Amino acid sequence: MIILRGVNVFPSQIEEIVLRTPGVAPHFQIQLTRRGRLDHMTVRVESRPGTPADLRETAARAIAKDVKDGVGVTVEVTIVEPETLERSLGKLKRVKDLRQE
């Protein structure tokens, strides 16, 4: 569980939204950073091979809207090329916390 600006966020909630979005693969990663005094969440999602750029942009907007509506936090969504998120032994590390304590 992640606490982002007072809201409990479960990676499984993000996964559910990613899985129902067309044009993206089921591989995603949550990056947590701090901008000024506020925590910020970026969701990086792999696109499916051959997905056109306009569908990628549409998918990114749809994921951001669904996270805001369903989870209650504003996130930035970045669609990356297929097979670009780092994996270890086939398993993707879902959360990367880059905040400085």
How far apart are the C-alpha atoms of 92 and 73, rounded to whole Å? 23
Average pLDDT of the residues in 61-65: 98
Per DSSP (E only), the strands in the chain are: 2-4, 7-9, 24-35, 38-47, 76-80, 87-88, 91-92, 95-97
Task: CATH number of the domain at 18, please.
Answer: 3.30.300.30
Domain containing 77: what range? 2-97
Q: What's the total number of domains in the chain?
A: 1
pLDDT, tens digit (0-9, with 9 covering 90-100), for 82-93: 989 887 766 678
Q: State the pTM of this model.
A: 0.90
pLDDT, tens digit (0-9, with 9 covering 90-100), for 50-62: 999 999 999 999 9
Element (DSSP H or E) covering residue 55: helix 53-70
In this structure, the dihedral spanned by the alpha carbons of residues 8, 91, 47 and 10, taken in order and rounded to 10 degrees, is: -10
